[in-house]
Structure 1
Amino acid sequence: MKKVLFATSALVLSAGFASAEVALSGDGRMGIIYDGNDAQFSSRARVRFNLSGESDAGLSFGASFRVDHENYSSNAYRSAARGTAGAIWISGTYGKLSMGDTVSASERAIGDLYEVGYTDGTFGGDVEEISYLTGDGENLGQGPNILYEYTINNISLYASASDGVNTPWFDTPGDTTDTDADGNPVDSADVAWSVAGKYEAENWWVALGYGKHDDAKEVVLGGEGTFNGFSVKGIFAKYDDRFTGGADAEELKHTYGLGLAYQWDAILLEGFYRKDKFDYEVADSESYDSFGIGAEYDLGGGAILAGGIVDTDYLDDTVADFGIKFSF
């Protein structure tokens, strides 16, 4: 259970605001990672700002970002102040609208496979994450992405997009790293967009998403069910013209994966299997297999003891981690 480190209620303003709040929370972890050759110490601490409010008309609004999102020396274009990290949102009767480093409609509806380990999969290259075409770190060269969500009864609808302009508004026009075949700067680009629908019952859901960016397309189908402490989740993604390399590019054709989990009191067991198929312009097709297993024990008060093992063809190795993760 997260504990608020610091919270303050802003002034109640007569000009349109009923209330506003700024809350400070955080997370951290410490442990050991085995990278296939060596065991190394690994630790991290982060602080998150969570902003929320409500207007007199009943509109809710808010934002969330981490302190490290403003590390300009690390990445000047990965910033909550510039809309390419964190997100800001407004919601009401007609749904919720978010802008910033948002996930795509497909990912919002379906998500990824289950994370394992105290680093939540980072130690294995996050191979539990499905390769969605747009959103969640993709297309940020165009600036903030936008996500719309609307739910009525058991059905949720989602739509997301980039703005199709390579030059962020805070840059000088023409100051872009994207160029055409002659090396000339290209400011305009193809809008990356996605739509999805989801049906949720009491203990299961199914969802379908579609995404497009330039010639690349994706169709993603997913579902999950929970019964007596057991959870199972399946995802299938089919891609067209999804190239991930240069001249001798590899084309991602499809991905499918299965996740399993079991919760028993303070103990959580999780695992996943994933397969990706690629076509190569200069070689035969090839498939990559990845799997992971992990366990967690909830120590209470926001502390969790966790560990995991991941084996993936992407790393050509078996890696593991073990440690404690915290939420404040």
Structure 2
Amino acid sequence: MKKVLFASTALLATASVAAAEIRFSGYGRFGVGYQEDRTGTVANFTTTASGDVVRGSGGVADPDAVAEDVDTDNTILVSRFRLNIDANVETDSGVEFQGRVRLQADDDSGNGEQNEAGLNGARFSVIYSGLRVDAGNVSGSFDNLGDYFGTEPGLEQFLGQYSGVNYSFLEYSSTGSGANGVFFQYAVGDLSFGASYDQRTLALAGQPQDADRWDIFASYVFNNITASLAYGQTDLVDGEDQSLTVFTLGAELGDFYGTLFVADDDVIDDAENGTAYGFSVSYDLGAATTLQLVYGDGSADDDTRNIGVGAIYDLGGGASLRGAVGEIKDGDDDGRIRADFGAQFNF
């Protein structure tokens, strides 16, 4: 009788697994990162009479000790481990339901220490034919625009053609709860379009204000070229609305991939309003080596400029060596050199 019960239980468990699917994917990366004049926030430490190092003052360990902004080592160990956990089921009529959470651990770029891994907010999706609807911790229109990011050189992907953009749009959060929003996309043939919306409350001038965001986009593919246009807006009660308009052009021609980026952002700080522009290029030299180039800037006084080059060497089996060197310049400040090199493995 016990054997019959065990067999029945095993059969039910197998049927449950067959009705749903759970997938794991992600990547790991580790290496060395250099940043000129690196600064970070660290806790205040002191030494006791016996020579023990503790955090706080007066030789008393204080977990709530005030942190200080100090110069830290320019060269640190950099790392990230990312694990995506995806679950999905498909109904008899072909409608797919999905859920995703992400487990991620990163280094602290300010002080070079390792952070703990943690789960982010969940994203839920419903997919049918060319329609997709996401809810929860979602990506908005700009975050879903493939050529918005273009080529991002470096193990840490620290350079981007979009560096002159200062508008805060809806993004998927890998380490936090994310904005509880909704995104939909519909694709028919070579045309795709979509939109997103999320509700927020911000503290402006010490007062809470609604700051709901919405955005729309459209992309069209012709031959090997993709043209995309997106617009987003944040509605504030006091009438100081913020907005971002982006146009991208991406081309894949054999071993060459390139993007052009033009944007106009209107934010609260007048020194950050203006036109952002840039481009990115990647070229496969052969079966194993890819070279990358990126440039990004803006017309506003406080815009950030990125310029740099990078390379990827494919080791096979999902592993590669990656690195980049470039300059990051904020407004009229002096430029700062940044570089990294290390290994990445995808799974």
Q: TM-score range by the shorter chain?
A: 0.7 to 0.9
Q: Which runs of 5+ in 1 are unaligned?
A: 1-9, 167-177, 279-284
Q: CA deviation at 1:31?
A: 1.1
Distance 1:42 1:286 in 2: 28
1:180-223 Cα shifts (integer Å, max 9, x gaps)? 76x56x4x613200001110123111011111002011111011
Contact residue 277 and residue 288 of structure 1 kept, 8 A: no
2:126–2:133 Cα contact (<8 Å) kept = yes
In structure 2, the residue corresponding to 1:157 is in which secondary structure?
strand
CA offset digits 1:30-50 (Å, max 9, x no partner) = 211111253222233232212
Instruction: Work out which of the residue numbers 303, 320, 326 in structure 1 matches 2:319.
Output: 303
Which SS does the other structure have where 1:106 is aligned?
coil
Which residue does 1:134 correspond to in 2?
A: 169
Is residue 231 of structure 1 aligned with residue 266 of structure 2? no
Q: How does 1:1-328 map to 2 (within 5 A)?
A: 12=15, 19-36=19-36, 38-68=74-104, 80=120, 85-93=121-129, 95-109=131-145, 110-121=147-158, 131=166, 133-136=168-171, 143-162=179-198, 164-166=199-201, 178-179=202-203, 186=208, 189-214=210-235, 215-240=241-266, 242-243=267-268, 250-263=271-284, 264-278=286-300, 285=301, 288-314=304-330, 316-328=335-347
SS at match of 1:108: coil
Identity of aligned residues (%): 24
Counterpart residue identity of residue 26, structure 2: G
Secondary structure at the counterpart of residue 190 of structure 1: strand
CA offsets, 1:97-154, max 9 Å, x none?
0123322213323421311111222xx6x6756555421159x999412110000111
Q: Give the Cα separation in 2 of the matches to 1:12 and 1:268.
A: 45
Structure 1 Cα separation of the partners of residues 255 and 130 of structure 2: 34
RMSD: 3.0
CA deviation profile, 1:27-74 (whole Å, cap 9, x unmatched): 1112111112532222332322122221122111212222249xxxx9
CA 1:102–1:159: 2 relative to 1, 3 Å = same
CA contact (8 A) 1:113 1:257 kept: no
Report how many residues are paired. Answer: 277
Amino acid at match of 1:257: G
- The residue aligned with 1:4 is none
2:167–2:242 CA contact under 8 A, matched in 1: no
When residues 127 and 226 of structure 1 are mapped into structure 2, their CA distance, relative to the original with a 3 A threshold, is: closer
Q: Any idea what SS the aligned residue of 2:248 has? A: strand
Q: Would you say the 8 A contact 1:142–1:165 is kept in 2?
A: no
Contact between 2:138 and 2:178, CA under 8 Å: does it hold in 1? no
The TM-score normalised by the length of structure 2 is: 0.71
Q: Which runs of 5+ in 2 are unaligned?
A: 1-12, 38-73, 106-114, 236-240
Structure with the greater alpha carbon radius of gyration? 2
Give, in whole Å, the separation in 2 of the partners of 1:239 and 1:21. 42
Contact 1:19 1:55 (C-alpha < 8 Å) held by counterparts: no
Please give the alpha-carbon distance, in whole angstroms, between the structure 2 residues aligned to 1:300 and 1:270.
19
Check the 8 A contact 2:26/2:84 in 1, yes or no. Answer: yes
Moved over 4 A (4+): 10-13, 126-132, 178-181
Letter in 2 for 1:210: Y
Q: Work out the CA distance in 1 between the residues paired with 2:86 and 2:336.
A: 38
151-160 vs 101-110, greater mean Cα deviation: 101-110
CA distance in 1 between counterparts of 2:80 and 2:302 reads 36
Contact 1:48 1:66 in 2 (8 A): yes
